[in-house]
Amino acid sequence: MAASCVSCGAAVSRRLLLRPPLSLAPRQVLWKAAELQSVPGPQILRLKHVTVVTTKKNVKAPRRETYTVDFIKKQIEEFNIGKRHLANMMGEDPETFTQEDIDRAIAYLFPSGLFEKRARPIMKHPEQIFPKQKAIQWGEDGRPFHYLFYTGKQSYYSLMHDAYGKILDIEKHKNQLQAKGLFSEKNKTIDLIGSRWLIKEELEEMLVEKLSDQDYRQFVQLMERLLQSGAAEEEFVQSFRRSVTVQSKQQPIEPVQRDAQGMAFSTSEGKRKSAKAEAVVYEHGSGRIKVNGIDYLLYFPVLQDREQLMFPFHFLDRLGKHDVTCTVSGGGRSAQAGAIRLAVARALCSFVTEEEVEWMRQAGLLTSDPRVRERKKPGQEGARRKFTWKKR
Amino acid sequence: MLKGVTRLVSRVHKLDPGHFLRLGTQAPQSLAAQLDNQVSFESPRAISCTSENDPAKHEEKHEGLHYNLPLQDVKTIFPHGLPSRYAMQMKTFNEACLMVRKPALELLHYLKNTNFAHPAIRYVLYGEKGTGKTLSLCHIIHFCAKQDWLILHIPDAHLWVKNCRDLLQSTYNKQRFDQPLEASVWLKNFKTTNERFLSQIKIQEKCVWNKRESIEKGSSLGEVVEQGITRVRNATDAVGIVLKELKRQSSLGIFRLLVAVDGVNALWGRTTLKREDKSPIAPEELALIHNMRKMVRNDWNGGAIVLALSQTGSLFKPRNAHLPQELLGKEGFDALDPFIPIQVVNYSPKEFESCIQYYMENSWLQHEKAHTEEGKKELLFLSNANPEQLERLCAYL
């Protein structure tokens, strides 16, 4: 029996802890299996009980882990191989296995009940997981490669230098043309609508350097000056612009009205806090509203709730023209009123022109209110209220 | 100025009332052009008010229009009868205007055609909260007062079953309880309303208050009432005697009796009153309620019984209850059983328009938007044509 224990113990790896982290627990128990390979025959697993006690109290905070280029490359290879294995497992074609397929496969194979989405298992390309870091900037002799290394922010200053150089080039070109008389006043201004400059965080990410606010402002000013001087360097400038979603009115996709018994109506839902409402708005009516089968005057005796219901109609000037039947559940009286308002506004979108839909969106009628009750924290009486402070 | 109004109004009166709304803005201008001496700012009154101040002559064509109650009449007929918000409005506008509405017209029609030889018919006004049951009742009372009926009006029967401080054990019947305060207050108001009848009616039974005081047979009812008012301890018994005598004598035909009770569901519900040992009192054990129930039974003739339900003051009844079955309970419904139900609903579009016009004429709506069409639509939506809600809304404007 002892022999069989030993043989299965042989499969256990010998060194269990590879690299202890810098902050050690004061006591650690190391189990070391005895040296097995050299001694044949029946062996006894001699377990050495070793306690390690650190005396370090002021441990420095660990520096950010630097990943070497080789390490990143290895990770990328491993990722690609793993991707192919995963595709095989799921029975799909490894060649056309996209990132979304990977996400779905991982969610299927490792179902997680954690609330925080970022804590769930992920499998992404190493570029997205490991933060971008600079390679070693100097050679063996200690001499830096880049000529602006000693400014501290080499990529930023080199970018500014290049941009300014381009401006000067364009000016020189313009002067030459003017001298020759071939300068034409055609202003090929680049269309700036629908795109925006990079924000500071994006620029930092691009240059892998920390910037200050003044640096960022200088950068934007230089870019704008470059634009003004001419349309020659369009690609260069556009690489620093991101497009803004056109008019951002993509969310409300209102369902087209349906017909039943000849009456045109449209249905939609709305939510607020924990109340859910579903509203059916008829196109031709006389302004009657029924909530859960009860007249709205009796269901909402408070004026404020009725004003909430009135808001979509009043905004579109259609006060007595529609009939509404809705069902609502959950929440309190104010939440139910807000939910019905949202549902009614979304349903009205289908009877109304696109311009009016845009107005409604700007008025805030089509946005669902994200405010939810804040959680009570331990050590406090409520979400924000602290316990009474007593001096002694 | 008053002359000008009546002249203007009599001209407008000939117009078809169905066109009032459409001609609303046009009529005063044309009339003002004709009578250039008259003050034109009074002319819009014609749209929502009518000059027909006698309820007996109110007909369908007056539907939706307000008529004026002379303030003197109001003091005599309604010493305690008007709802508090309406009384405030009366004080503000310095006049009492009631709207003529369909349920009241219906009731008036029935009352005009009552056969006084038959037992008294019971009419029950019911409807959602705030639709105008109490004010319709007041309209009927005004009509009956003009017709010289004797009015027995209980403004709110709920006041008798709750918040009573002193309950005495009744001298007449040991099991029952007296409510001296409420009874004396009611007797005072009754006296104000029906002064002229009190001397005419003679009681037919001797009533003994205690060893020293008694009232002989044949003396007037006024004396009984006086006794009740001065001696508060015997007020409840005085009320009982008054009710009994009235019931007996209305069949004789000397006078016609109108029994008008508001909040009649209090007579059959529960009370919040308790005995000294904290056990609850049933309504039957209150002498006032007991006598009232006998009054509301239709075993007498020579008059009519008009009742209005009310959820507002009711005890232990859910807010949504508005049907007679729900508010009266099984007991009450059986007791009242053969009755004519009259439903009072929210304003029709015409009535709503008329109400808004009335407020505008009295310069009650100060908001700029209230005069526009959109403003009216907003008010209509928010109040859903409920008279009470509309009145509360307009109070802010």
Q: How far is B383 from chain A (nearest CA, A)?
A: 7
Chain A, 317 to 346: residues with Cβ < 8 Å from chain B are 317, 319-320
Instruction: State how far the alpha carbon of B161 is from the alpha carbons of A232, B236, B286, in Å.
Output: 93, 14, 8
Question: Is the distance from CB of B146 to CB of B55 less than 8 angstroms?
Answer: yes
Q: How confident is the model at residue B328 (pLDDT cuts 50, 70, 90)?
A: confident
**ipTM confidence score:** 0.76
Q: Is A287 on the interface with B (CB under 8 A)?
A: yes
- The token pair at A349 is 């979108």
Q: Is A286 on the interface with B (CB under 8 A)?
A: no
- The token pair at B322 is 């508005």
Residues B314, B319: Cα–Cα separation, whole Å: 9
Q: How far is A292 from chain B (nearest CA, A)?
A: 14
> Which residues of A are less than 8 Å from B374 in CB distance?
314, 317, 319
The reported pLDDT for the residue numbered A190 is 64
Instruction: State how far the alpha carbon of B107 is from the alpha carbons of B57, B103, B156, in Å.
Output: 13, 6, 20
Q: How far is B99 from chain A (nearest CA, A)?
A: 22
The reported pLDDT for the residue numbered A251 is 64
Contact at CB, A287 and B380, closer than 8 angstroms: yes
pLDDT at B5 over 70: no
The reported pLDDT for the residue numbered A255 is 74
Q: Is A306 on the interface with B (CB under 8 A)?
A: yes
- Where is average pLDDT lowest: A182-186, B39-43, B248-252? B39-43
Instruction: State how far the alpha carbon of B222 is from the alpha carbons of A241, B109, B147, B190, B237, in Å.
Output: 98, 32, 21, 10, 14
Tell me which of B347, B382, B383, B386 to substitute to probe the interface with A (most A C-beta atoms closer than 10 Å): B382
Higher pLDDT, A157 or A27: A157
> Which residues of A are less than 8 Å from B378 in CB distance?
310, 314, 319
Q: How confident is the model at residue A107 (pLDDT cuts 50, 70, 90)?
A: very high
Q: How confident is the model at residue A188 (pLDDT cuts 50, 70, 90)?
A: low
- The mean per-residue pLDDT over the stretch A59-64 comes to 72
Nearest to B382 among A294, A307, A317 (CB): A307
Contact at CB, B378 and A310, closer than 8 angstroms: yes
pLDDT at A194 over 80: no
Q: Reduced to 3 states, what is the DSSP secondary structure of residue A53?
A: strand
Q: How far is B392 from chain A (nearest CA, A)?
A: 10
The answer to whether the Cα torsion of B219, B225, B231, B234 is positive or negative is: positive
Q: How confident is the model at residue B21 (pLDDT cuts 50, 70, 90)?
A: very low
Nearest to A310 among B128, B381, B389 (CB): B381
Q: How confident is the model at residue B165 (pLDDT cuts 50, 70, 90)?
A: confident
What backbone torsions phi and psi does residue B39 show, to the nearest 5 degrees?
-75, 120
pTM: 0.69
Residues B259, B305: Cα–Cα separation, whole Å: 5
> Which residues of A are less than 8 Å from B128 in CB distance?
298
- The token pair at B173 is 């019947």
Tell me which of A306, A309, A333, A340 to substitute to probe the interface with B (most B C-beta atoms closer than 10 Å): A306
Instruction: State how far the alpha carbon of A163 is from the alpha carbons of A160, A236, A239, B310, in Å.
Output: 5, 9, 13, 83
Q: Say which DSSP state A14 is in.
A: S
Q: How confident is the model at residue A42 (pLDDT cuts 50, 70, 90)?
A: low
pLDDT tens-place string over residues B36-69: 444 444 455 566 777 777 877 877 888 888 888 8
Q: How confident is the model at residue A6 (pLDDT cuts 50, 70, 90)?
A: very low
The reported pLDDT for the residue numbered A51 is 67
User: Which percentage of chain A shows pLDDT scores above 90?
Assistant: 37
What backbone torsions phi and psi does residue B15 show, to the nearest 5 degrees?
-70, 155
What backbone torsions phi and psi does residue B159 show, to the nearest 5 degrees?
-65, -20
